[in-house]
Amino acid sequence: MIKAISPSSQKIAEKLVILNERTTGIITRIYNIKKTVVQSINAIKQDIIKALSLYYNTFVDLMDLKDHITELLTIIDACQLHLNIVLLGAINSLAAVYVRRNLTADKWRAGQILSLVTASNQLLAVAQTDTMPCEYLSLETMNRWIICKIVCRYNKRVAELKEFVATAVQHSVLPEMLFYMVELRELLLRYRSVVQRYHVQYLAGFDALALNELLQSIASIPQESSVIFSDFCQAIAELNVEDLENDSVAYNFQGLRLDWYRLQRIHIEEKGLSLCNLFLDEIAKETRNVVSTAYEQHRLLSEELLPKTCAKLIANAINKENRKKSGFMTLEKKGFKRSLSPQHGYPGDESYRRSREDMTLIDKLHFALTELCFAIDYYPQIVVWEHTFAPREYLTQHIEARFNKTVVAMAMYDKDTQEIAKPSELLNSIRTYMDVLQTLENYVQIDVVFGSTITSELCALAEILGAYGMKFLSERLMWHVAGQISELKKLVLQNRESLRAMRTNFDRPDRMRELFRHLTVTDGNKKHLDAVDNLLQRVTIVGEIVCFRDLLRQGLNELVSERVPFLVNCMEDFKRTTCSGDKLDMLPVSEMFSAAGIKCIVDSDLMMRLMTTTTFVVC
């Protein structure tokens, strides 16, 4: 089976450049040979035969060049490449414009372009063409492009070109053409009013009506654009030929130009804002993808230290030690030296570098992350059309969205087997991801993990509320905790019989599954939620409230330690000396500790709230 030829792997462009240079050199050498051998061949036949030996290498190179050119042309034909190595891209772009703008006089007469009598009913019809009626590229620029392409690398013909220029200037056609151009200019200046009257009538009689009909046919136009278009139509329709008779009145279309600029501003503003938003969104996505890829690599490295991976290494080491004791694997005693480099496959082997030039995948990812973060952090704000863009906020939003999806994926939940990852593996993955996120703080000035945000805000809250306000807030939180505990007590009382039966039948799976179904009961027309889910939900609420109360105490403790550090030190010393006593006797002391934000064994606020709750009974 013949393998297809890939054009990208043949390096056709490089071969063309090399063969072009070799062709120029060989042609030069052949030209020199031709100049030296200009006499009659028969007269100096023997001398020519002797001289040909000197140019043997030249003909050998010529044959070698022929073979290479034939091979390259065969490859180009096999790859079905169509090359255009004659014209530049700029010249190709003039194909549709240059011909129309460089017509000869005969073609103008044949097309009756200058005739006002032929097809007079179509004088007011707009020409429908693929190109704009007025090109911004002058004919002189087009000619300069073509001439520069022709005379490029022809510096040897400078004298010949100068002779051509002198001949063209001395010819009688050029002065005659200049005379006709000056005459046409004078005619236009003389009959300026006629040309102006024609254009004014054309604008008022055709363009205004056509623009108005076109606007009415368009369904949805923004209000601001509609107002500008209406001003266009009104300004053009108000043009009057009678004003031309008064020489003092000069038509000034500056207002139309300004409205046209305003109309373009709307489109440019929308495009500018959308492009800026698209660019920032793309660069933030690219940074997020690099972070995710770096996390995958670091996760694979961290998994090498988990027990499931290290067990194989430990087993191999034990087997190796046993074989050494039994007399095998004694290569070191026979003179073999141990390599200084770490053995392949051990954790940490990736940190061993033989050369600084060898970059691993993690090195490339961190290098790309550095460049992307530098681009994001270069400007804290980007102002576009009175709109402010914050590149860091784009990065933060994408990182947060990807973090939620990544944490869910870390659990590795399988719907078929109803299995999830081990807690140790999940914790290891989360720590690895947080380590990768914390590296962003080295490149971008953002608090990725929000390390000090909660504490600083709660310190400010504690300073505003004061000690009594924080105590009142803690009591209110414990009131909610006591309410959740009361609901838990009701839930236990409702399922007392089922729980007692489950306690005595824990070793019977069938009986346990049957009792578990009884935990969700229906009372009348009201259907209760699953008792297990209800229990977990209320316990989660209690945990969140207690955790928030601990954060409040931490903020209060930092504030009090800053204001009265000596008093806080005395209270901590007193706590260390009284912790060995009875917990119930520490209730009055723990109230003092709570007021200062110091954590104690006995939670005085929660205990007082539970003691005052009439529905709470110690079971």
Residue with the bigger pLDDT between 519 and 307: it is 307
- Minimum mean pLDDT range among 45-54, 160-169, 358-367: 45-54
Check if the beta carbon of residue 539 is closer than 8 Å to that of residue 533. no
| pLDDT band at residue 360 using 50, 70 and 90 as cut-offs | confident
Joined together, the tokens standing for residue 257 give 């130009």
DSSP 342-362: PPTTSTTGGG--S-TT---HH
pTM score, whole prediction: 0.46
Report the distance separating Cα 530 and Cα 249, nearest Å: 89
Beta-sheet pairing, 526-527 with 522-523: antiparallel
Q: What does the pLDDT read at residue 581?
A: 54
Report the distance separating Cα 53 and Cα 322, nearest Å: 79
Within 13 Å, how many C-alpha atoms sit on residue 284's CB side?
A: 20
| pLDDT band at residue 450 using 50, 70 and 90 as cut-offs | low
Q: Which amino acid is at 593?
A: F
Residue 84 has pLDDT above 70, yes or no: no
Averaged confidence pLDDT in the chain: 74
Across the range 394-403, mean pLDDT stands at: 85
Residue 488 has pLDDT above 60, yes or no: yes
214-242 CB burial, b ≥16 within 10 A, e <16: eeeeeeeeeeeeeebbebbbeebbebeee
Beta-sheet pairing, 387-389 with 522-523: unpaired
Q: What does the pLDDT read at residue 580?
A: 58
| pLDDT band at residue 551 using 50, 70 and 90 as cut-offs | confident
Residue 599 has pLDDT above 80, yes or no: no
Residue with the bigger pLDDT between 567 and 114: it is 567
Tell me, letter by letter, the H, E, C secondary structure of 509-548.
HHHHHHHHHCCCCEECCEECCCHHHHHHHHHHHHHHHHHH
Q: 462: buried, middle or exposed (CB in 10 Å: 19+, 13-18, 0-12)?
A: buried
Across the range 122-139, mean pLDDT stands at: 58
Residue 244 has pLDDT above 80, yes or no: no
Across the range 211-226, mean pLDDT stands at: 79
Report the distance separating Cα 224 and Cα 329, nearest Å: 88
Q: How many CB atoms lie within 10 A of CB 280?
A: 19
Q: CA-CA-CA-CA torsion for 232, 237, 239, 241, nearest 10 degrees?
A: 150
Check if the beta carbon of residue 288 is closer than 8 Å to that of residue 421. no
pLDDT tens per residue across span 337-353: 444 344 446 676 777 77
Residue with the bigger pLDDT between 244 and 200: it is 200
Joined together, the tokens standing for residue 392 give 């860091």
| pLDDT band at residue 615 using 50, 70 and 90 as cut-offs | very low
Q: What does the pLDDT read at residue 338?
A: 41
Residue 573 has pLDDT above 50, yes or no: yes
Report the distance separating Cα 614 and Cα 390, nearest Å: 55
The segment with the largest mean pLDDT, out of 140-154, 248-262, 491-505, is: 491-505
> Partners of 361 in the beta sheet?
none
Check if the beta carbon of residue 277 is closer than 8 Å to that of residue 389. yes
480-508 CB burial, b ≥16 within 10 A, e <16: ebbbbbbeeeebeeebeebeebbeeeeee
Across the range 403-420, mean pLDDT stands at: 81
Instruction: State the DSSP code for 445.
Output: S
Across the range 456-477, mean pLDDT stands at: 80
Q: What does the pLDDT read at residue 618?
A: 42
Q: What does the pLDDT read at residue 454?
A: 61
Q: Which amino acid is at 557?
A: N
